[in-house]
Structure 1
Amino acid sequence: MSTRPYRVVQWATGALGRAVIRGVLERPDLELAGALVYDPAKVGMDAGTLAGRPATGIGATADPQEILDLDADCVVYAPGPDGDPFSGIETVCALLASGKNVIATHGYVYPRAHGPHMVAELEDACKRGGTSVHGTGVSPGFMSDLMPLTLTRLTRGINHVYVRECSDFSGHPSRRMVHQMLGFGKSEEAFLRAMRTTRGAMRTLASESLHLVAAGLGLELDEIDTDMDHRLAPADFTIAAGPVARGTVAASRWTFSAMAGGRPVITIEQIHKADAARIAEWGAPGYSIRVDGRPSIALSTDEDWVSNAISAAAAHALNAVPIVCAAEPGIRTFLDLPPIFGRLSARHAPGGAG
């Protein structure tokens, strides 16, 4: 492990990126080295100010080359959940080849799910830079892959692994996310047309979790089956992102089943609701994980299982920084790395202040 703070760059300063910056500034083992922004209005702003903290003397840049030229150990790559998470793979490879480890908050949980070409591209960049790439997140990146694998330690003779995520978007303020990406408020015809593109991105992310769990269980998958269903709003209503008219789409359910030996062995179900109070079907918001084996294991949470999901995703990435920076070069998944734990706050640590 390094005896000096790891120098961290935050790539993108949306809600998650700002949480990462705050986390870096709070930890003595990490040091902020730079910040990349997409919004021209943020260029030149102090990274601390962007994150709601005192000025750091580090100005935000929109120029990727400035980040590539920086002396830094790690980049927390968080460009956002829009579309295909691997559309920026050339950027990720450039960062890796420049000598910076990359921790992605969207995708890269199990790149081997996407075939040998992507693996070769990433491994070559890692070899040139002497670096590693690692994907984190909450779902994918924890609840849909790491948590079910953890539960399998308590059972044997496993027949099936099931993960369910149900999300309520009634309080989500982003019209882009709720109305454009999820398709809520669209007519049924417009929704189905838009989901042709979304289907690929959803399957790409789910396949990483499915293949990661399968690899952890020693399974070879035959294929991944994808199914999508939706429900219409029973009446006009308004949510934080805007109005949803009666008869337009107000909920969707995606089911991804990993097949082996002609049967589903791992299933991930993702349910999105514009307003869970108005769409009771498919259950309440929260997570459910079930491992059918001897014995069978079930774990369920409600929607308040974490007090701040964005803060949790930021912490998951930051807690991985020392481990990933110390790892051997290459693609590093949860299956390759030692356990990653959080850190005790200084005010609670033995001998700590306060």
Structure 2
Amino acid sequence: MKVVQWATGNIGSRALRGVIEHPELSLAGVYVNAADKAGVDAGKLCGLPDTGVTATADIADVLAAGADCVLYMPRLMDLGEVCRILESGANVVTTCGTFHHPAGLDPQVRERVEAACSRGGTSLHATGSSPGFITEALPLVLASLQRRLDSLAISESADLSRRNSPELLFGIMGFGTPPAEFARERAAHIAASFGPSLRQVAEDLGLPLDSIESDGECAVAPGPVTIAAGTIPAGTVAAQRMTVSGVRGGRTVLSFQSTWYCTADLDPAWRVRDTGWHVSVAGDAPLEVSLLLPVPLDRMAEVSPGYTANRAVNAVRAVCEAPPGILTARDLPHLVSALVTEG
């Protein structure tokens, strides 16, 4: 299948590598926004040998590539771009979070995207690791063991002390800022990011939610903390814990809690886990499942993009073979990877 990689940031460049190395995919093109990347061979953009495919900043080149699928991975989603791609006859797999709960989309947005899918005979699917795999795919698998599901709680932990991304940690996530008003504002942001996933899973399980609620708290650094991205001053945010709860009938049935921290030297009331996920399932077949990322912290920034990018690459064939429309994890078959073999 012919694939175009759209955007080559941390996630996009890892997806680009995945396409180039995939035994069943053929790279048809690369779209970039940065002028200094245009004309550069795709291999150089992801640390591989030259491929003969050069990047372009012209959308017309992408639409003319005759791709079966576009892996759409910019930082911000552009609805006009997405619809142009779909109308051109190329399916879209994206790590942008807009489409995790199709029924919850603004009606005009949903109508526009579905119309583009209909005209192009194409499909769109949003995935990734979190939200995505951990909030949509894995819960459905674990719930398949239940006949009575009382609750499903997902906890995500991430030690960010060796993540050398100042813009992400300080500019976007708010580490190193005064704690006043921080938690409430961040909680609202996390609810917008993960609430759609919880709603979709709840509907897939026949347990539609009455509401999504969010709450947050933060812990401050007891003294100056030096991390890979810079220095966190004493008394400013060094850890944050956000909880998004899906409520039905007055009780929480699904929840996602993130604990992201830059140091473990925190108030004793704060207990932090190693980087990874823990899922608790309460029902007639209760489960406690831990998924740890066994990667040294100084290699986490190098390895972690694969957790988001790989699932998107692995979804290409299933999305291309699906009926037109906006697809969720339940609409697709179980994703099986065509693994790269060594030697």
**TM-score in same-fold range (> 0.5):** yes
Check whether the contact 2:222–2:265 (CA below 8 A) recurs between aligned residues: no
Q: Which residue of 2 aligns with 1:155?
A: 146
Q: Secondary structure at the match of 2:124?
A: strand
Contact 1:173 / 1:240 at 8 angstroms: preserved in 2? Answer: yes
Q: In the alignment, what sits opposite 1:351?
A: none
Aligned partner of 1:99 in structure 2 is 89
Following superposition, the deviation at residue 207 of structure 1 comes to: 1.5
1:92 deviates by 1.3
Kindly indicate whether the alpha-carbon contact (under 8 Å) linking 1:99 and 1:129 is maintained by their aligned counterparts in 2. Answer: yes
Q: Equivalent of 1:283, from 263, 272, 282?
A: 272
Shift of 1:77: 1.0
The aligned residue for residue 21 of structure 1 is 16
**Structure 1 position 345, deviation (Å):** 3.4
Equivalent residue in structure 1 for 2:242, among 254, 257, 260: 254
Aligned-pair distance for 1:225?
0.6
1:162-202 CA distances to partner (integer Å, 9 max, x unpaired)?
A: 1110111111111110001110011224846xx74x55542
The Cα offsets for residues 233-270 of structure 1, whole Å up to 9 and x where unpaired, read as 11111111100010011111111111111221111111
1:218 to 187, 190, 206: 206
Mean Cα displacement is larger for which, 310-319 or 264-273?
A: 310-319
Report the equivalent of 2:129.
Answer: 138
Cα offset, 1:304, TM superposition: 2.2
**Alignment pair present for 1:236 and 2:224:** yes
In structure 2, do the counterparts of structure 1 residues 337 and 70 end up closer, same or farther at CA, with 3 Å as the change threshold?
same
Aligned equivalent of 1:121: 112
% same residue: 39
Question: Quick check: 1:167–1:303 contact (8 Å CA) kept in 2?
Answer: no
Q: CA deviation at 1:112?
A: 2.3
Match of 2:58 in 1: 63
1:284–1:302 contact (8 Å) kept in structure 2: no
Partner of 1:336: 331
Q: 1:179 aligns with which of 139, 146, 170?
A: 170
**Separation in 1 of the partners of 2:49 and 2:292?**
36
Structure 1 residue matching 2:14: 3-state secondary structure: helix
Q: How far apart are residue 47 of structure 1 and its match? A: 1.1
Distance of 1:35 and 1:202 partners within structure 2: 31
> Which deviations, in whole Å up to 9, do the C-alpha atoms of 1:272-319 show, x marking residues without a partner?
112235566142132110111012111013342898331232221111
Report the secondary structure of 1:53's partner residue.
coil
- Equivalent residue number for residue 312 of structure 2: 317
Q: 1:181 to 1:21 in 2, by over 3 A?
A: same
Secondary structure in 2 matching 1:164: strand
Instruction: Give the structure 1 partner of residue 31 of structure 2.
Output: 36
Matched letter for residue 153 of structure 1: S
Query: Which is worse superposed, 13-22 or 114-123?
Result: 114-123
1:293 to 1:115, Cα distance in 2 relative to 1, 3 A:
farther
User: Alignment partner of 1:218: what SS?
Assistant: coil
What's the CA shift string for 1:65-95, capped at 9, x where partnerless?
A: 3322321111111113xxxx5x422221221
Is residue 105–residue 317 contact of structure 1 (8 Å, CA) maintained in 2?
yes
TM-score, with structure 2 as normaliser: 0.91
Structure 2 residue runs without a partner (length 5+): none
Q: Is the 8 A contact 2:202 2:209 kept in 1?
A: yes
Secondary structure of the structure 2 residue equivalent to 1:212: helix
Distance 2:265 2:36 in 1: 38
Q: For structure 1, which segment, 337-346 or 167-176, has the greater mean C-alpha deviation from structure 2 after superposition?
A: 337-346
Q: Please state how far the C-alpha of 1:51 moved relative to its aligned partner.
A: 1.2
SS at match of 1:99: coil
Q: Is the 8 A contact 1:111 1:118 kept in 2?
A: no
Q: What is the count of residue pairs matched by the alignment?
A: 335
Secondary structure at 2:315 match in 1: helix
Corresponding residue SS for 2:19: helix
Name whichever of 88-97 and 274-283 sits farther off.
274-283
Question: Would you say the 8 A contact 1:169–1:274 is kept in 2?
Answer: yes
2:46 maps to a residue whose letter is: A
> Is contact 2:188-2:214 (8 Å) kept?
no
Partner of 2:69: 74
Tell whether the 8 Å contact from 1:228 to 1:252 is kept in structure 2 after alignment: yes
TM-score (norm 1): 0.88
Structure 1 runs not aligned, ≥5 long: 1-5, 348-353
Q: Distance in 2 between matches of 1:270 and 1:240?
A: 21
